[in-house]
Structure 1
């Protein structure tokens, strides 16, 4: 085991049935200008041999990186899978952690500004990148906003062509887990991400908890990442039935868990009902597949939200 210094960054990447995406992501990390990092590649029990192939690639010297491979043996979801690797890196003494989606490609200078932002201000706990759609200069994420009444989130700059309008660093409500950089001190203060969301809103809740404890959350545009917008959830134009379920359920539960105001919780119930109708009409009127199945999962998500039934859907 290498001697970990205060400069070292643990890069956390979660793989699940995505050999090509993860391979390309790892190759892009070879060109990072910041030299002090180690990759922790954790697998959520992939069924397509992608993890074994990546391990074999590493043995064959196809990656000019130091990688620790972690096979969980079960699908623990986004937070569960990432937490396994974060805990391993924490126990090894890492001061900085970078959660990075496996369907991303990073700019060579993507890591340096993230480290510099946390070193410049100890009150900053979480920072994140400017994220483009893969192969374009169209913005996918330039910081996030959260409505504390409805739980609805918004990516600043979403789908806009970048003309420099988002080149200023600023404090935001949340950083997406697609590229989320944080400190050991934050982890020791607020703990790990809540795992029973399984998919979606776990990192949003984590950001809110950080803000409530007095940490600053900052968007750092000098760090650039390109995102393929993973097909694991069906992609943006044809969301999977399970994704609808988690969006509906977890949005509501997040508000109930993070907001003490009774009025906000009651409003969240009204929004949950409105959200069900909105999502249902989107499915009915859109060009989506599996319409009946998706509508069933939308209603099931609402019912489980009200029952506070969490975890992975059966």
Structure 2
């Protein structure tokens, strides 16, 4: 095992039944201008043989980057799977970490400005990229805003054509886990991501808790990533029914866990019901498929926030 230096970055990618996307993501990392990194590819018990194929590709010399393969043995969700790799990299001594969705393709210069931002200001704990919809120059993410009364999150600039309007380095409320860099000290002060969220809001919770500890969260526009949006959950226009469950439940959980103000928590509780009603109406107005399954998930989410 090579000696880890202060400049080394642990790039952590979570695979789940997505051979083609993960392959393309790994190949894009070969062109990074930042030379000091090691990839930790963690698999959440894929059932499509993708993890075995990727390991064989590595043995066959198809990837020209260093990769450690980790099998969790179960579907641990976003936070659970990433935490397994984060812990391993932490114990190996890495100072910087970069969480990257497997359905992304990175620009060659994507990593360098993230590391520079962390190095230039020791109070910056989390950094994130400008993210385009894959194959376009249309913005998906240029920093995140969060309403701590309702739990509602918003991507700054979403669906806007990029004409330089979000080219300023600045502090934001949160960075999406699609491309999220952070320093080692985050783990030592804030801890790891909460795994029981399973899907959605785990990184929002983490960012907000980091801010409560005094860390700065910065959007770094010189870092550019392209995202095949929601590929793992059915695509942006055909989200899996289970997404509604986690969106409703976790939005409320997030406020309840990060805010002490009881009025905020009550407001988030009411907002969860409002969201549920909107989702029920959407099932019928938009004539969505798998209606029964969607309605069951919405009902289960509403019941879960009483626990």
Report the 3-state secondary structure (helix = DSSP H, G, I; strand = E; otherwise coil) of the residue aligned with 1:306.
Answer: coil
Matches within 5 A, 1:71-220: 71-220=71-220
CA deviation string 1:96-148 (max 9, x = no partner): 00000000000000000000000000000000000000011000000000000
CA drift of 1:305 comes to 1.9
In structure 2, stretches of 5+ residues that fail to align are none
> How does the TM-score come out when normalised to structure 2?
0.99
Q: Which runs of 4+ in 1 moved over 4 A?
A: none
For 1:292, the equivalent position in structure 2 comes to: 292
Question: After the TM superposition, which of the residue ranges 138-147 and 232-241 deviates more from structure 2?
Answer: 232-241
CA drift of 1:165 comes to 0.4
CA drift of 1:230 comes to 2.9
Report the 3-state secondary structure (helix = DSSP H, G, I; strand = E; otherwise coil) of the residue aligned with 2:69.
Answer: strand
1:53 and 2:62 correspond: no
CA drift of 1:287 comes to 4.0
1:227 and 2:227 correspond: yes
Structure-2 separation of matches of 1:28 and 1:287: 38
In structure 1, stretches of 5+ residues that fail to align are 308-314
CA drift of 1:176 comes to 0.1
> How does the TM-score come out when normalised to structure 1?
0.97
Contact 2:34–2:109 (8 Å) recurs in 1: yes
Structure-2 separation of matches of 1:233 and 1:68: 26
CA drift of 1:59 comes to 0.1
For 1:238, the equivalent position in structure 2 comes to: 238
Structure-2 separation of matches of 1:96 and 1:269: 36
RMSD: 0.7
For 1:267, the equivalent position in structure 2 comes to: 267
The count of aligned residue pairs is: 307
Question: After the TM superposition, which of the residue ranges 98-107 and 228-237 deviates more from structure 2?
Answer: 228-237
